[in-house]
Amino acid sequence: MVKETGYYDLLGVRPGASLDEIKRAYRRLALRYHPDKNPSEGERFKQISQAYEVLSDAHKRALYDRGGERAMKEGGLGSRGGSSGFGSPMDIFDLFFGGGVRMRGRADRRGKTVVHQLSVSLEDLYNGTTRKLSLQKNIICRKCGGCGVREGAQRRCPKCHGSGMEVRIHQLGPSMIQQIQTMCSQCQGQGEWIRPRDCCLTCNGRKVVREKKILSVHLDKGMKDGQKITFHEEGDQVPGLEPGDIIIVLDQKEHPVFRRSGDDLIVKREISLADALCGCRQVIRTLDNRTLLVSSQP
Give the list of residues 6+ apart from residue 105 with CB closer than 8 angstroms, or none. none
Query: Residue 84 to residues 57, 177, 189: CA-CA distances in angstroms?
Result: 15, 19, 25
14 burial (CB, 10 Å; 0-12 / 13-18 / 19+) is exposed
Is 80 exceeded by the pLDDT of residue 258? yes
Cβ atoms 159, 239 nearer than 8 A: no
What pLDDT, on a 0 to 100 scale, did the predictor assign at position 277? 87
Residue with the bigger pLDDT between 75 and 126: it is 126
Residue with the bigger pLDDT between 153 and 117: it is 117
Instruction: Calculate the CA 196 to chain-centre distance.
Output: 27
Is 60 exceeded by the pLDDT of residue 95? no
Residue with the bigger pLDDT between 79 and 48: it is 48
Cβ atoms 275, 182 nearer than 8 A: no
Residue with the bigger pLDDT between 185 and 246: it is 246
Question: What SS3 class is residue 190?
Answer: coil
Give residue 106's pLDDT band: very low, low, confident or very high (50, 70, 90).
Answer: very low
Q: How does DSSP classify residue 218? A: E
Residue 262, CA atoms < 13 Å, CB-side half-sphere? 1
Is 80 exceeded by the pLDDT of residue 15? yes
Mean pLDDT of the region 84-100: 40
The C-alpha atoms of residue 266 and residue 274 are separated, in whole angstroms, by: 23
Mean pLDDT of the region 227-244: 89
Is 80 exceeded by the pLDDT of residue 11? yes
Mean pLDDT of the region 267-277: 86
Residue 217, CA atoms < 13 Å, CB-side half-sphere? 25
The C-alpha atoms of residue 122 and residue 128 are separated, in whole angstroms, by: 10
Question: What SS3 class is residue 172?
Answer: strand
Count other C-beta atoms under 10 Å from residue 48's C-beta. Answer: 25
Residue with the bigger pLDDT between 179 and 285: it is 285
Query: Residue 251 to residues 116, 226, 254: CA-CA distances in angstroms?
Result: 10, 6, 10
The C-alpha atoms of residue 126 and residue 293 are separated, in whole angstroms, by: 20
The C-alpha atoms of residue 148 and residue 238 are separated, in whole angstroms, by: 12
Residue 93, CA atoms < 13 Å, CB-side half-sphere? 22
What pLDDT, on a 0 to 100 scale, did the predictor assign at position 173? 60
Residue with the bigger pLDDT between 215 and 88: it is 215
Domain locations in the chain as residue ranges: 1-87+96-108, 114-146+208-252, 268-296
Is 50 exceeded by the pLDDT of residue 102? no
Give residue 223's pLDDT band: very low, low, confident or very high (50, 70, 90).
Answer: very high
What pLDDT, on a 0 to 100 scale, did the predictor assign at position 100? 43
pLDDT in tens, 142-181: 888 888 887 766 677 777 877 777 777 766 666 666 667 7
Mean pLDDT of the region 23-45: 79
Lowest mean per-residue pLDDT among 96-100, 112-116, 188-192, 275-279: 96-100
Is 70 exceeded by the pLDDT of residue 4? yes
Residue 232, CA atoms < 13 Å, CB-side half-sphere? 0
What pLDDT, on a 0 to 100 scale, did the predictor assign at position 124? 94
Written as one letter, the residue type at 98 is: G
Residue with the bigger pLDDT between 234 and 177: it is 234
Average pLDDT in the chain: 80
Domain 1-87+96-108 architecture: Orthogonal Bundle (1.10)
Phi, psi of 17 (to 5 degrees): -65, 145
Q: Which CATH class is domain 114-146+208-252?
A: mainly beta
What pLDDT, on a 0 to 100 scale, did the predictor assign at position 92? 36
